[in-house]
A and B are shown apart, each in its own frame.
Chain A
Amino acid sequence: MDNLASSRKTYASLTAREAGLVACTTCGLLDHPRQTCQRCGAALHSREPLSYQRTLAWLIAGMVFFIPANLYPMLITNTFGSEQKSTIIGGVIELIEYGSYFVALVVGVASILVPLAKFAVIGLLLASIRRAWKLNPHQRLHLYEITEFIGRWSMIDVFVVAILAALIQLDFVASVNPGFAAVSFALSVIFTMLSAQSLDQRLIWDSMNETDRHE
């Protein structure tokens, strides 16, 4: 593995922006500043405009929808005429009662722990860009990469509800219907993914460079 140590000496930690160049975030082409990328046609920005604001806006939307996702029922089960509603946490507890500890852990982590951790990490990263929070940039990068990677997995409970509803729909003994929480939870996951995608990671490194120089 070559970590390009030699080239680093040549350009002594010079970023594309400092060199008066712009890297396309879509295809990676490095160019002099212009409107659109010559190679892929994407809009070219040294730093994504309003990245901080858009990330924050999507984050708030994700957090707001996470509230009804936990208060309303995820799954409505009708058995012999009696209706039973279960929330996200209720579903996890049910799994523990069945003795399926591993599956309970997977669902619990994916639908409760991961979304909360993702809100916290994006919040921290935003704070670190505004230098309200001092954190090693390598740690920040790892945090970001981990949340980017596992954030999608929160969708698992929505799929579980979809499959259960499809399977038990026509049965005369029992029927299963998705509750309002299924929609709000799906939206919460989508908004949080959009939030993470809106964050221009280069801003994190910019803020680090600036603090380095002040010290």
Chain B
Amino acid sequence: MNTTSIDPSALIACPNCDLLHTARQVSEGERLRCARCGTKLASSRPNAIDRTLAAAVTNAILIVAALFFPFIQLDGGGTRQSATLIDAVSAFGTGLTAPLVLVVAAFIIVIPFMRASALVYTLWPLRFGRAPYKAAPQAFRLANTLKPWSMAEIFIIGVVVALVKIAGIAQVSLGPAFWMLTAVVLVLLLENHNFCRWTIWQVLGKHTQA
């Protein structure tokens, strides 16, 4: 086969196994899967950009708000203590474990917030039919790189485990910040369901390549 005659824009390669497929417009609610390995190639959900943007805005607001409300309250021995997320993070601030401060803070606050902001930056102009901002490809790349490192949902389960561990020692109640972070997790699940990287790159590509 004469390879130079192939038009790359008419094809999609499976990101997983590199097999070529003919590209075509995905109809609403449809999912394209690789013929060889079954990896999702593209999907189309109604209003994917709207929904992803809405989820990102919600998350950015919830994460910032969750910082300032008590996360858990502890009643024991006649005293009451409440800890915010910032307290939870700064508990690591002493001694040998100091570097862990940065890691924990990054996983539960900084990275989820950065990812939400990067998505808002990328999608906001697209939502209103305008050309994307100049750094949109970089921002969207960042959002995708950060995805596995955003660990709010794991933290929530960690909180539940911690509650079980100290249930015998003290009375513990969950504060508003816990529920805000739980909401972040639920919104992220919805966002994942609607998110199609390939579709958003196509929209971005129309502007950057033109």
Residues of A within 8 A of B (CB): 1-8, 10-11, 13-17, 19-21, 23, 25-32, 38-42, 94-95, 98, 100, 103, 106-107, 137-138, 141, 148, 152-153, 155-160, 162-171, 173-174, 177-180, 182-183, 186, 190, 193, 197, 201-202, 204-206
Q: Bound state CA distance, A71 and B100, in angstroms?
A: 18
Given contacts A164-B165, A167-B72, A168-B166, contact A15 B201 (CB under 8 A): no
* Given A1-B30, A11-B11, A100-B164, 11 further pairs, Cβ under 8 A: A11-B19, A21-B8, A27-B197, A30-B20, A141-B16, A167-B81, A168-B169, A177-B95, A183-B97, A186-B100, A202-B18
Across chains A and B, the number of contacting residue pairs, with CB separation under 8 Å, is: 244
Q: How far is the CB of B71 from chain A (nearest CB, A)?
A: 8
Is A159 a contact of B97 with CB atoms below 8 Å? no
Complex Cα distance, B21 from A21, in Å, reads 13
* Contact A152:B137 (CB < 8 A) given known A4-B35, A167-B83: no
Nearest CB in chain A to that of B7: its residue: A30
- Cβ-closest chain A residue relative to B140: A40
- Looking at B54-62, B152-160, B183-191, the stretch in contact with chain A turns out to be B152-160
Q: Name which residue of chain B comes closest to A10, CB basis.
A: B22
Q: B51-88 vs A: 1/0 string, CB under 8 Å? A: 00000000000000000000010101101010100011
Most buried by A among B9, B35, B39, B41: B35
Q: Is the CB of B12 within 8 A of A14?
A: no
Which residue of the partner chain A has the closest CB to B205? A39
B contact residues around A141 at 8 Å (CB): 16-17, 37-39
The answer to whether B17 and A201 have CB atoms under 8 Å apart is yes
Q: List the A side residues contacting B83 at CB < 8 Å.
A: 166-167
Contact string against A for B residues 4-31, beta-carbon threshold 8 Å, 1 for contact and 0 otherwise = 1010110111011111111000000011
Contacts A30-B8, A40-B141, A106-B161: A13 and B36 contacting too (C-beta < 8 A)?
yes
Report yes or no: B15 in contact with A25, Cβ–Cβ below 8 A. Answer: yes
Contact of B19 among A5, A13, A179 (CB under 8 A): A13
